[in-house]
A = this chain, B = another copy of it.
């Protein structure tokens, strides 16, 4: 519907189109559909929370994931429940994958205005089993590079047996939203003089000191991409 779009509610190459499911009922001003922002939130996360429905009830499991353009990939053993369910479902398994970063604690003078600064992405869609060998291999590279960028090229690639033991599912980035809280404390004006400390407590991020495996050959040095930040 490119011809009918208006500037105020335009889907574009740079943004996802809001849907009933991706417009929050509360704090809509914290929602964003910006593609670059969504990608950056996804790319900085280590673990996503994958939701699916089993016997009518919700199940939420933590999972590693990787992104290739507008596709997310989740992998696991061929025996794991959501991956097996995806392979058996036609046309696929309805899922919701959510990634959240907690950036800071927001301590207000009032209990009511306590909050956290966070960035989250919620992806709704249908997960499909990845059967194409090339797509599967690219997805596994993306999963390893997601943990540490550049790492896939600096490790032994999966062999045939490992590929056969691994199931990969794909979730297209289509029905997607980000939600964020940033900024400071929002206390009511009449509370500002209360004798309680108020402010932001940032949470620390980044790598601690790497611990080399005991069997590491003496001539293998710590790679630059693991330098403590």
Interface residues in chain A, defined as those with a beta carbon under 8 Å from any beta carbon in chain B:
21, 24-27, 46-47, 49-54, 56-62, 64, 76-77, 79-81, 84, 94-98, 100, 102, 105, 107-112, 114, 116, 118, 120, 122, 124, 140-141, 143-144, 147-148, 151-152, 154-159, 162, 166, 184-185, 187, 191-217, 219-223, 226
Contact = CB atoms under 8 A, between A and B. Distances in A.
B197 A102 contact: no
B196 A46 contact: no
B199 A158 contact: no
Contacts of A118: 47, 62
Given A25-B79, A59-B21, A61-B98, A208 B213 contact: no
Contact of A51 (B26, B51, B116, B220): B51
Contact of A198 (B80, B159, B213): B213
Contacts of A52: 58
B47 A51 contact: no
A48 B219 CA distance: 43
A12 B148 CA distance: 41
Given A51-B60, A62-B120, A210-B201, A111 B98 contact: no
A228 B92 CA distance: 47
A210 B215 contact: no
**Which has the most chain B C-beta neighbours within 10 Å: A79, A191, A196?**
A196
Given A64-B116, A98-B61, A110 B207 contact: no
A204 B201 contact: no
A221 B208 contact: no
A156 B194 contact: yes
Contacts of A60: 49-51, 58, 60, 96-98, 122
